[in-house]
Amino acid sequence: MRKILIVGSGQSGLQLALSLQEHGYDVTVMSARTPDEIRAAWVTSTQCMFADALAIERAHGLNLWDDVAPRVAGQGLSMAGPDGERALNWIASWDGGPAQSIDQRVKMATWLELFEERGGNVVIHGVTTADLNGLAKLYDLVVVAAGKGELVQLFDRDASRSPYTVPQRKLSVSYVHGQEARPERPGTTDVWMNFIPGVGELINIPGYTLSGPCDIFFVAGLPGGPFDAFADRPPAAEQLRRHLELFRQYIPWEYERAKNAELTDGKAVLVGGYPPVVRHPVGELPSGAFVLGMADVVVANDPITGQGSNNAAKCAESYLGSILENEDRPFDRTWMQATFDRYWEHAQWVTKFTNAMLQPPPPHVQQILGAAQSNPKVAKRFVNGFNNPTDFQHWLFDPAKAEEFLASV
């Protein structure tokens, strides 16, 4: 039986571990925290998984929250005008089905317990490069899925695929209860992206947390601007107060819904920011052994397009296929590079889309966003691109292709 070590207990690491279990592999997961410690920790992300990524989870029997989590029906977009009104305001539903957002404190703690219940080996221990150097010889393959910490330094930055060297957004998050329903969409739950030119974005995500259904305020501020107001890492209640004050000033239609919201728990906030980066996928340990980077370790996009957990699921599924197809052959450096290249065929378009969204939209994209206001076909294709960003290569990225598409609808 082939032995595989996965370092990291996030979306990609645990999904790969659980899916390898299905195929009889001897899998060990190293996690820095126990399930109870994960549940008791601070919020770690703003995950929103779309239909294709959810289908992967369902194929592996990992869809444990379908009966309790909000079914996120569609995706709306508003753009603030200079007078505080909405210069753009439209919505479309996803063709593939609803999205879903599960607090990773809930999901990862449960999946880690599930992996162990099914006979998986769990080691609770933070891992250094020195640790990994000694452990690697005990396994046929070592996968690094811990996107933070010392191990990431094993993987060199790929400058040719990484246009940014500093964070493009300063991020702050609050999980809340008590937000009122969107008046123009009674009885529905939607992701809503609010763009404030020159300031940043508020993305409102219906989610599911430790205490049940909730809403997530994901605020992305341009560095140095009004939304970049959390560098002092205020107490949780103060962070929410500042969020609401920013909504009142810059997004009044969202403030009216959110003004009575309360935090879901004392650790329901997050502050951060990082430069988007693509890294080379193969790391070499001092012993000369090679390890394979996965998901955020090798492709870390800004979360503005909500692709992090989706990428993690798709990366884990792609790596699973490469591992199964390799059968009894060695997991050498050539195989590791080919495994990443296969995933990059998808991830390159996610990276291109996300990096583009960090800049002011060029004229042809402005035209598309404006056309979506009155043409549902345009709105629907743009929204469906969040589920499958590879489609954007066929129309959104190229002005001539965009013009051709707009002329056809």
Domain regions of the chain by residue span: 3-64+101-164+276-357, 74-99+170-272, 361-408
Q: State the number of CA atoms in the 13 A half-sphere of 302 facing the CB.
A: 31
Q: In the predicted model, is pLDDT for residue 147 greater than 80?
A: no
Pull the structure tokens for residue 79: 């753009």
In CATH terms, is domain 3-64+101-164+276-357 a member of 3.50.50.60?
A: yes
Which of helix, strand or coil describes residue 171?
A: strand
Beta strands in 145-287 (DSSP E): 170-177, 190-196, 200-209, 212-221, 262-263, 269-272, 277-278, 282-284
Fold of 74-99+170-272: D-Amino Acid Oxidase; Chain A, domain 2 (3.30.9)
Task: Classify residue 65 by its DSSP letter.
Answer: -
Q: In the predicted model, is pLDDT for residue 80 greater than 80?
A: yes
Q: Note the pLDDT tens digit of each residue in 32-77.
A: 999 999 999 999 999 999 999 999 999 999 999 999 999 999 999 9
Q: In the predicted model, is pLDDT for residue 251 greater than 90?
A: yes
Query: Amino acid identity of 340?
Result: F
Query: Amino acid identity of 396?
Result: L
Pull the structure tokens for residue 105: 């404190």
**pLDDT (mean) for 334-355:** 98
Q: Torsion-angle region of residue 170: left (phi > 0), alpha (psi -120 to 50) or beta?
A: beta
Q: What is the mean pLDDT of the chain?
A: 96
Q: What is the pLDDT of residue 188?
A: 84
Which long-range contacts does 338-341 make (Cβ < 8 Å, 24+ apart)? 339/281, 339/292, 340/281, 340/282, 340/292, 340/293, 340/298
**pLDDT (mean) for 5-17:** 98
Interhelix angle 399-408/363-372, rounded to 10 degrees, is 20
Q: Note the pLDDT tens digit of each residue in 148-183.
A: 788 999 999 999 999 999 999 999 999 999 999 998
Interhelix angle 376-387/399-408, rounded to 10 degrees, is 130
Pull the structure tokens for residue 400: 């001539």
Q: What is the pLDDT of residue 84?
A: 80
Give me the residues paired with residue 207 across strands: 214
